[in-house]
Structure 1
Amino acid sequence: MDRQELAAFLRSRRERISPTEVGLPAGTRRRTPGLRREEAAQLAFISTEYYTRLEQARAPRPSREVLTGLSRALRLNPAERDHLHHLAGAPPGPPPGPPREVRQSLLDLLRRLPGSAAFVTSAALEVLAWNDLAAALMEDFSAVPPRERNLARRAFLGPHPEGRTLYGVSDRAEFARHAARRLRATAARYPDDPRMAALITELRSGSEEFARLWDEKEVSAEPTLRKTFQHPQVGPVTVNCDALDITDHDQQLVIYTADPGSPSEEALRLLSVIGTQEMDVHH
């Protein structure tokens, strides 16, 4: 435990937070920026005396529960939370589950890709956010419950909108292998996530194909660079596939684009017009 660095870090994080950010009155008699020590302690559910001793480098090592409270009270991002744990001599354990919040810059980016079908998936293959063209090409994700927006569940268990197996993709078998391998790696990273465990149990019991692929114990998968969707309204749409890792959130931004001047580009342009209905990006 590095008491001096821990004290300095806590003080710097406390001083950057304005009272109004955490619902406290700003007041007019504050001599220093940010929260007072007693306010930070209250938000962290610890005593003011103990928090003061932490900032004075005189306190014993804080427990993981105290560190969790401090992280929440001081609004630490994941990197800062990990740093706090290391300073306290208590390296952070694995996060409880795959992050499912999509940051605003990615939501804005989806809207700025009107000529591409783009969406964000979690490490558990949940579709977390999408643009209008992705909804028109695949399905209207806003019309189904969040639980059903999981691509692995769609691939192995259905239901299949308009009778299309996994949106009529040409690489359905390859995607099935990819999904099983990715979920196995994800389950290892988040061993304490009940949602991940429930998903794996559901897929293994409901799909012989998934159970077989799961039992192969493979964790690496070749990326799909090109695929064709059989769309009920515009026919075949062949797209290039790019999956960009969002490493700090363990997510992927998937972008489908058609070759310039191709019939598939025309089909995507037509889909952007007929689409589903006008809708915002959801997450």
Structure 2
Amino acid sequence: MEYENLLTKGALRAIMNNEEVNEPVFQILGLRKITAVGANVKYRLTISDGQHLTSFTMLASQLHSMILSRELNEFAIVKIKHHIISKLTDHSKEKNQFIILKDLVVMVPGNVVSSKIGDPKPIIDNSGHTVANKIYASVNVTPTMQIENLLTKGALRAIMNNEEVNKPVFQVLGIRKITDAGVNSKHRLLISDGQNLNSFAMLVTQLNSMILSGELTEFSIVKIKDHIISNLTYHSEGNKQVIILIDLVVIVPGNVVLSKIGDPKPIVNNSGYMVTNRMSTSVDVPPTTGNDNLLTERSI
């Protein structure tokens, strides 16, 4: 089924311009609980019409049961039966106009769709800011603490110890082309789990289109759906075990996150050198340098 044809393309831009849109159909790209402890629970959503996305969306409390029952989940396609626009204050302490979803029906469950439809982008004004109903916003898709909670802390250390880790979530801190062969070019990535980072990660060539299209960029939050460990030789660093990223999905675009999350450090052994899958190296950067951006400063 062509799920993309179900979406009401252009609806988000129209709503952001305060135009009337009757029962638009969107895809849910994220649901985050954002309320502080002790307060009434609130959920902030990232929704897409296939062309654009916005995180300035809240779910009315009477619909929370749809999340708790898992009827409403990531990637679900929904028809909005009723919505209003309301001015709310987000974590940046600025007032922004939010879409409040008062009534909706799930047309296709998220576990059936199973992936993002199309390549939706934030609505950008002429000044390069993300637009929230004509009010400029520098906020993330979710509050900063919520984004940090997405990362699978400790996953890189576990992988380096050859432990099984199921669909970890990382942040991409750098992308570097190491061979130039058009669509078959090879890219080396610097990834972080919020605690540790690793520049010994490679993207399979089948995913190069995500870089070429701008979907996968610096600061993106990604879920790794499949990976393997492989021995590769780097000319200045010898034989290394490298994480090969076979399949992934972008959870939060880099141009929305905009910065490094936390203060991740290289994994080091007792001798003070960076570890790559239980293999220590005495080249380049011992941890005492405090150099986080290994990818851009290391020769491959």
Q: TM-score, normalised by structure 1?
A: 0.25
Q: Which has the higher helix share?
A: 1
Report the TM-score when normalising by structure 2: 0.24
More strand by share: 2
Q: Which has the higher contact order (CA 8 A, sep 6+)?
A: 1
